[in-house]
Structure 1
């Protein structure tokens, strides 16, 4: 077995040729091979080469908080096409990332496709298959009958197609073959074997490496340290050295944004859950508490970014920190998902899977609920989570949202009813809307469809929308208000603040007043039906009545 070359980031950049297709393993700041990407950007500024690159990112590379990621490549002439599950995002007041400026100024062809589908595409490429046939993205902006995932007018509609198999319509994503895979790990030995002991997740490193290697391409791995040859535990090697062509050493690489290293994220330490700080008393906490009431002990639940990310912390405060098994698209299973810059990681995870394997669970509906955010909801139950005209860089894109919602049995969207400057008081008696937000999030038609409400009804999925002032459910007859917060006027604060007619349930009830009180709410969780079946079976096995 040949020893692998250990290069500087700038020297590794010299391996890239004009017109190459790069694929990059990252999730914002998590696992981002930032030094290698910086080396490519530096080479281009010095030499005007490589030119005309295509860059593929199943999840975003970099963020707006210090890890540049794809922005190292976002130079006219260097980057011709980008295909990504998500893009760097951040506050609307900040300067947009360079990649967003290129997209908006029609300087680069840009696609936004579901993250899970992009991971599956790499597996298809590695096996020399033509692409991925899937239901993910059907009826949304990803569908070729809509935008086909295109992010500007420069971008051609030439990757996703509509196919009929038997009597069913499917989306077909044509394979994109990478010339170079850029991945990241913690340790490489002299032969290129890679371990990920300090990482929050291996993400898609193995699948990206297979895709490049099996098609005659190169694999470049950025690592924190180098070990002597064959000294690594083979059970812990996630990417074998036979796939790796070059290693770039960066001893200062961040574990994720704002975190140099936390062993509780990488599963090397179990920290007491009591160490997690309580969630501040706020409108967001009220919504998270109401969403928590949808869950049951023993469930497997997916979680998205935004207000819903508070739900695990609400459960932890209520003494149910381990009652639900959380699954994140980045790979963490179990534990308590973390907030802010560390979102995508969990404290005390039970397992850390590859992202592609996690998406097999998610696309196949191997979980009970998903808790997600929304930007807009329309009269047909459609949700927009990825597109804000004139403020596009505030959002990350579709990410795993479409993969998750395509088959999730129950979907809980969580967010505020209105947007903009507002004054809403929350207290033990409920809500007091002193000054409402100027913009309603309930619009006649969403700016772009990330989730198709009518398809969800046909699939038999249960969909509810939890806001601070009411709870709504998607029903065949329309979106229906089922609960209202105490202190809220139904006509003035709910029906009149929607830009389309809402229905009202015949058994409209008040949201539980305990949601609005500071301090513990005394939450109890029912047992998940599958858990009850196991209890009955165990009773039958020992002679007890079922």
Structure 2
């Protein structure tokens, strides 16, 4: 039952080329930065990644993107990464843009064993009708476009069918965890992490603080250990290393 592994390198050692990967975080908040760097060092490539966004040019998933290790992204927001834009428009990266709430539910459904679900989000748009450019050709044309999805009427409204997402692996970051993989997240760092943990067949969690089994009150556990296969304990320096995409502050009242 002890799921603690020796190092981040050991935890990602079996993530091979072409793997599908769910990665927690929102912006740069709650991202598994140590596991991402370990995967970068391993040299794994041709990855299909599901994550709310793709980091920034020099941090998070942006590091893998910069080295062209990612073949395909399924995301809801990609606006903080210039290299992402360049690769997408040049036809080097396939991108499936998904409404944020739909992405969250697709991950949750995958973890719950639900094949798909109907939602009103996207009805009457290219999300349902198809034609969104997933991958561009070198000449600027559309090489791969999104397919049309089934639309059905329930009551007075139309709904579009969305398929669940499951991945070979999931990488997440937690505030606290125990040796059995029970996890607690802090504030907004919770974000997509529990959903990604559910959707991965093998979930690897980096934790800022390791506690003993029984120290976490059951009602405080956000992700039970049944969803987690490996736990990596961060050093104090690794746990403290966090970034903000755009730091915005107000001038002090006495600045004048």
TM-score, normalised to structure 1's length?
A: 0.40
Residue 136 of structure 1 deviates from its aligned partner by: 0.9
- Pick the aligned partner of 2:105 from 120, 125, 140: 120
1:62 aligns with 2:51: no
1:228 aligns with 2:222: no
Residues 86-143 of structure 1, C-alpha deviations (whole Å, 9 max, x = no match): 12517xxxxx2x3333212211211111111011111221233222321212334434
List structure 1 runs of 4+ shifted beyond 6 angstroms: none
With over 3 angstroms needed to count, the CA separation of the structure-2 counterparts of 1:116 and 1:181, relative to structure 1, is: same
1:175 aligns with 2:160: no
CA distance in 1, matches of 2:240, 2:26: 12
Residue 225 of structure 1 deviates from its aligned partner by: 1.9
Residues 451-493 of structure 1, C-alpha deviations (whole Å, 9 max, x = no match): xxxxxxxxxxxxxxxxxxxxxxxxxxxxxxxxxxxxxxxxxxx
Q: Is the 8 A contact 2:176 2:208 kept in 1?
A: yes
CA distance in 1, matches of 2:21, 2:130: 28
1:129-144 correspondence to structure 2 within 5 Å: 129-144=114-129
CA distance in 2, matches of 1:342, 1:246: 36
Q: Is the 8 A contact 1:191 1:230 kept in 2?
A: no
With over 3 angstroms needed to count, the CA separation of the structure-2 counterparts of 1:256 and 1:157, relative to structure 1, is: same
1:106 aligns with 2:91: yes
1:388-537 correspondence to structure 2 within 5 Å: none
Residue 51 of structure 1 deviates from its aligned partner by: 3.5
- Pick the aligned partner of 2:202 from 218, 224, 228: 218
Matching residue of 2:252: none
Residues 430-450 of structure 1, C-alpha deviations (whole Å, 9 max, x = no match): xxxxxxxxxxxxxxxxxxxxx
With over 3 angstroms needed to count, the CA separation of the structure-2 counterparts of 1:128 and 1:145, relative to structure 1, is: same
CA distance in 2, matches of 1:255, 1:165: 49
CA distance in 2, matches of 1:248, 1:87: 28
- Whichever of the two has the greater Rg, that structure is 1
Matching residue of 1:26: 25
Residue 85 of structure 1 deviates from its aligned partner by: 0.9
1:306-317 correspondence to structure 2 within 5 Å: none
- Pick the aligned partner of 2:69 from 64, 70, 78: 78
Residue 84 of structure 1 deviates from its aligned partner by: 0.3
Q: Is the 8 A contact 1:132 1:174 kept in 2?
A: yes
1:241 aligns with 2:225: yes
1:150-229 correspondence to structure 2 within 5 Å: 150=134, 152=136, 153-158=142-147, 161-165=149-153, 169-197=158-186, 199-212=187-200, 217-229=201-213
Root-mean-square deviation (CA, aligned residues, Å) is 2.8
Residue 52 of structure 1 deviates from its aligned partner by: 2.6
Residue 26 of structure 1 deviates from its aligned partner by: 0.7
Please list every run of 5 or more consecutive structure 2 residues that lacks an aligned counterpart in the other structure: 137-141, 250-256
1:267-416 correspondence to structure 2 within 5 Å: 340-341=246-247
Q: Is the 8 A contact 2:120 2:157 kept in 1?
A: no
Matching residue of 2:38: 39
Question: Equivalent residue of 1:179, what SS?
Answer: strand
TM-score, normalised to structure 2's length?
A: 0.81
CA distance in 2, matches of 1:23, 1:101: 23
1:52 aligns with 2:41: no
Please list every run of 5 or more consecutive structure 1 residues that lacks an aligned counterpart in the other structure: 45-49, 91-95, 260-339, 344-546
Residue 256 of structure 1 deviates from its aligned partner by: 5.6
CA distance in 2, matches of 1:207, 1:142: 22
CA distance in 2, matches of 1:188, 1:100: 36
Q: Is the 8 A contact 2:114 2:164 kept in 1?
A: yes
With over 3 angstroms needed to count, the CA separation of the structure-2 counterparts of 1:190 and 1:126, relative to structure 1, is: closer
Q: Is the 8 A contact 2:152 2:159 kept in 1?
A: yes
CA distance in 1, matches of 2:151, 2:27: 33
Question: Equivalent residue of 1:63, what SS?
Answer: coil
CA distance in 2, matches of 1:206, 1:15: 22
Q: Is the 8 A contact 1:131 1:175 kept in 2?
A: yes
Aligned length: 241
Structure with the bigger RCO (C-alpha within 8 Å, sep 6+) is 2
Question: Equivalent residue of 1:6, what SS?
Answer: coil
Residues 375-426 of structure 1, C-alpha deviations (whole Å, 9 max, x = no match): xxxxxxxxxxxxxxxxxxxxxxxxxxxxxxxxxxxxxxxxxxxxxxxxxxxx
